[in-house]
């Protein structure tokens, strides 16, 4: 889509490894967030479970990917926005959970709602999620 996996890794100060690049490429081309078992299955020839677990962990920690917990409690991973780094994640988009296929989509929305909160509360980041039917499920 946008940056190459190589550029993503170097801009986040991560060493270039084959599996990191493959996972970034895969998540960039995926329409929806993918779980660790999904990725394990796709890359079973290239890497074992532990390697994939560690790769996801370091990519998340460095602000390359973010984790979404789906409606069944499973973690799914998606590529971050450019503004994320190791200090904080700023994935201010909508997470759409499809009730039919179970996929989770990162959807860009024009503006996130802003709230006025009681005195003393300070928002650092907002997460927005919605449930419904995704585009590919509405077609069939």
Contact footprint for Zn ion (CB under 5 A): 66, 78, 80, 84, 89, 91, 98, 100-101, 106, 134, 137
Residue 51 CB, nearest distance to Zn ion (Å)?
22
Between CA 37 and CA 21 the distance in angstroms is 18
Supply the minimum distance, in Å, between the C-beta of residue 59 and Zn ion: 10
Q: Give the shortest CB-88-to-Zn ion separation in angstroms.
A: 8
Q: Which is nearer to Zn ion, 14 or 84 (CB)?
A: 84
Question: Widest CA span of the chain, in angstroms?
Answer: 54
**Least distance CB 73 / Zn ion (angstroms):** 17
Q: Are 62 and 100 in contact (CB under 8 A)?
A: no
Please give the structure tokens belonging to residue 123: 């928002």
Q: How far is the CB of 97 from Zn ion (least distance, A)?
A: 9
If the CB atoms of residues 46 and 131 are measured against Zn ion, the closer one turns out to be: 131
Which residue bears the tokens 């024009």?
110
Smallest CA-to-CA distance from 76 within 84, 67, 85 is with: 67
Q: Which is nearer to Zn ion, 43 or 105 (CB)?
A: 105
> Which is closer to Zn ion, CB of 47 or CB of 134?
134
Q: Where are the strands (E) in the chain, listed by range?
A: 34-35, 65-69, 75-79, 94-98, 104-107, 128-132
Of 16 and 71, nearer to Zn ion (C-beta) is 71
Instruction: Specify the pairing of strand 104-107 against strand 128-132.
Output: unpaired
């Amino acid at each position: 889509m946008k940056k190459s996996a190589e550029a993503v890794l170097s801009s986040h100060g991560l060493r270039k490894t084959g599996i990191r690049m493959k996972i970034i490429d895969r998540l960039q081309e995926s329409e929806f967030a993918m779980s660790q078992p999904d990725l394990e299955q796709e890359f079973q020839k290239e890497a074992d479970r532990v390697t994939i677990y560690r790769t996801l962990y370091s990519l998340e920690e460095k602000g390359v990917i973010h984790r979404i917990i789906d409606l069944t409690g499973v973690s799914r991973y998606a590529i971050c926005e450019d503004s994320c780094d190791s200090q904080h994640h700023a994935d201010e988009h909508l997470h759409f959970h499809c009730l039919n296929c179970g996929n989770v989509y990162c959807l860009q929305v024009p503006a996130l709602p802003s709230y006025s909160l009681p005195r003393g509360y300070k928002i650092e980041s907002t997460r927005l999620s919605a449930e419904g039917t995704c585009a590919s499920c509405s077609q069939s």
